[in-house]
Amino acid sequence: MKPVEWKNGKVRFLDQTKLPIEERYVETDDEEVLARAIKRLSIRGAPLIGIAAAYGVVLAANRISGSSEDNVSSRLERAVNVLLATRPTAVNLSWALDRMGRCIRESKEKSIDVLRKRLEKEATAIHEEDAAMCEEISRRGAALLPNGAAVLTHCNTGMLATGGRGTALGIITMAWEQSKLKHVYINETRPLLQGARLTAWELQRSGVPSTLLTDSTAGFLMQRGAISSVIVGADRIAANGDVANKVGTYTLAILAKHHGIPFYVAAPTSTIDAHTPRGSDIPIEQRGPEEVTTIGGIRIAPEGVHVYAPAFDVTPHELITGIITEREILIPPYLDAVRALDRSQMHSAKLHAVED
Ligand code: MRU
């Protein structure tokens, strides 16, 4: 199952809003269709949003007719802005679009055909690198878990959210393959039910034993001693280690702290935003009221009721036991750990540039 795929000059994606009832794939060669799919969460999850947006830039380049320099750069700039405006919190989106932007600038002197080839290569590289990062995160994370682990997770961080096996959910499935994991508890994740609709679907397909909970059941389960670790993903990690992730994550972190349960965040380094000092600086996406007042199109609240619907919340770094990345497991103090990681990344980027 590939939630996003580059196929014969088109993007083929699984419309996640239809899951688990229907597995419907959509094909498009139009970056604006792709942007709308990201906005309405047909394509979702921080890494996958970045991957899809990168392919969106390739679609835009392929649709340009004429090749005057002004025409090409203004068309691509417009496409990048449309894709960038879809969802503000997941930093993987601007990270991937920055990479595509760099590729455009570096190909300025080249023909449109060369530019198209380079953009396709860059988008495919972003996709493949994410799959490799998922493997590495999963390997590091699975090694951390105790034998017989019972893990609680929130939202969806698996194959449906990434270019590979997933981040938090990748750790869970790998630990299951290694016979280290006893059970997974899935928070349903209101309002859009990514846990119930998507994570439960993925875990059933992988044969991992799991139990679905309403979000408000997590505390009781911890109190009963049923959870050994909590693992979640991230949409953006600030320089001080504060984490923006699906709304409800902060509540889980507080509960885990109270019950002395380790609380891990799993994310690729593309989710770390060293330029955003702290969590309160992260832009938090607000969703429409109908996502709270309806479930599956059926109204569950009186018409006209006031709704507060942030898609994400911010978990302060002091509640996080460790941040599992593909490069290393970051531990407090996160400000130092993120700085060191940023320095080593800049260093290896320079080495790559020299090697290229
Ligand atoms: O609104 P969504 O479904 O895109 O939110 C997804 C999450 O919050 C995930 O936990 C996060 O993007 C990490 S996915 C590997």
Q: What is the pLDDT of residues 197-252, one digit of tens each?
A: 999 999 999 999 999 999 999 999 999 999 999 999 999 999 999 999 999 999 99
Best residue for ligand 1 mutational test, from 40, 154, 157, 169 (most atoms within 8 Å of Cβ): 157
**C-beta pairs of 124-129 under 8 Å, 24+ apart in sequence:** 124/6, 126/50, 126/51, 126/54, 126/96, 126/99, 126/163, 127/4, 127/6, 127/51, 127/54, 127/55, 127/163, 128/163, 129/163
Bin 210: left if φ > 0, else alpha if -120 < ψ < 50, else beta. Answer: beta
Nearest atom, ligand 1, residue 49 CA: 4
Bin 9: left if φ > 0, else alpha if -120 < ψ < 50, else beta. Answer: left
Best residue for ligand 1 mutational test, from 155, 249, 269, 270 (most atoms within 8 Å of Cβ): 155
Q: Which candidate in 29, 70, 235, 336 is catalytic? A: 235
Count of beta carbons in the 10 Å neighbourhood of residue 354: 7
197 near 20, Cβ under 8 Å? Answer: yes
- What's the pLDDT tens digit per position in 142-193? 999 999 999 999 999 999 999 999 999 999 999 999 999 999 999 999 999 9
- What's the pLDDT tens digit per position in 7-52? 999 999 999 999 999 999 999 999 999 999 999 999 999 999 999 9
CA distance 64 to 47: 27
Report whether pLDDT(356) > 60.
Answer: no
CA distance 90 to 36: 16
Share of the chain above pLDDT 90, in %: 93
Nearest atom, ligand 1, residue 158 CA: 15
d(CA 289, ligand 1 centre) in Å: 19
pLDDT reported for residue 66:
75
d(CA 157, ligand 1 centre) in Å: 6
d(CA 348, ligand 1 centre) in Å: 28
Count of beta carbons in the 10 Å neighbourhood of residue 22: 8
CA distance 4 to 13: 4
**First-residue to last-residue Cα distance in the chain:** 34
d(CA 46, ligand 1 centre) in Å: 5
Computed on alpha carbons and rounded to an integer, the radius of gyration of the chain in Å comes to: 20
Q: Is 235 a catalytic residue?
A: yes
Nearest atom, ligand 1, residue 162 CA: 15
Which residues lie with the beta carbon below 6 Å from any ligand 1 atom? 41, 44-47, 90, 155, 157, 161-162, 167, 194, 233-235, 245-246, 311
Nearest atom, ligand 1, residue 194 CA: 3
DSSP conformation class of 146: P
CA distances from 17 to 110, 225, 272 (A): 40, 34, 27
Which residue has the CA at smallest separation from atom 15 of ligand 1? 157
Which residue has the CA at smallest separation from atom 10 of ligand 1? 233
CA distance 212 to 303: 29
